[in-house]
Structure 1
Amino acid sequence: MTDVTQDGPENALPAFAELVLDLTERIPPGRVMTYGDVAEYLGQGGPRQVGRVMALYGGSVPWWRVIRADGRLLPGHEHRALAHYGEEGTPLRELADPPRVDLRRARWDGRGIPANTPHGRD
């Protein structure tokens, strides 16, 4: 199991958390990845581990771009997420109540990350 809380010097960000946060920063505006997409792209952990990283460390990155597999907004952060989605033009499901991200149109597969970056797969 991937440890998301401790694997290095005190006050250092765990290696898995660094990978998750780095990838989150690279998701283009208006696009999203699910927790499972992030784990699959990185080749380690799973949706729960990615969610844990985002809960513990995700405040400094565009957290609204990593979402649940059903497209629902993060409970308790819906208004903030909706504001970001509006600014970025993230596709939403028009008839969904409460609002959901339209994964068919907004999902990003990680292509386009330059090959010279630590996680590039062009």
Structure 2
Amino acid sequence: MAVNEMHQRIWQVLGQIPPGKVVTYGQVAELAGLAGKSRMVGRCLGQLPEGSRLPWHRVINAQGKISLPVGSEGYDRQVGRLQEEGVVVLNGRVKLSEFRWQP
């Protein structure tokens, strides 16, 4: 499968995540039919075009943590967007039992 096709699958999953919910990188990979490719999901998100409307901010790691470095512009933007949607973020962590999307 070509990288472009894998990115398309990842973007399709991203577009389905509802506001106020989060998913893990591994969950996105699984839903996209790319089990075991969570790192690819991270790389794909890092390559989203500037101004993309896909909700990249709703993707966190398997421990419920934001993966971007604390204090970075991206970290602050992700926390802010999640909080605007009603997701509680404490010390860079989201309670997966409460906010995880289960399609």
Smaller-chain TM-score bracket: 0.7 to 0.9
Task: Give 1:86's match in structure 2, choosing from 61, 83, 91.
Answer: 83
* TM-score, length-scaled by structure 1: 0.69
Name stretches of at least 5 consecutive residues in structure 1 with no aligned partner: 5-13, 112-122
Alignment RMSD: 1.8
Give SS of 1:57's match: coil
- Structure whose residues are more often helix by fraction: 2
* Percent of residue pairs identical: 38
Displacement of 1:58 in angstroms is 6.4
Structure 2 residue 21 is the aligned partner of structure 1 residue 31 = yes
Moved over 3 A (4+): none
Encode CA deviations 1:60-81: one digit per residue, 9 max, x unaligned. 1111111111122222322111
* TM-score, length-scaled by structure 2: 0.81
CA contact under 8 A between 1:71 and 1:101: conserved in structure 2? yes
- Structure whose residues are more often strand by fraction: 2
Encode CA deviations 1:4-44: one digit per residue, 9 max, x unaligned. 3xxxxxxxxx1111111121111000101101001111221
Question: Relative contact order, CA 8 A, sep 6+: which one is greater?
Answer: 2
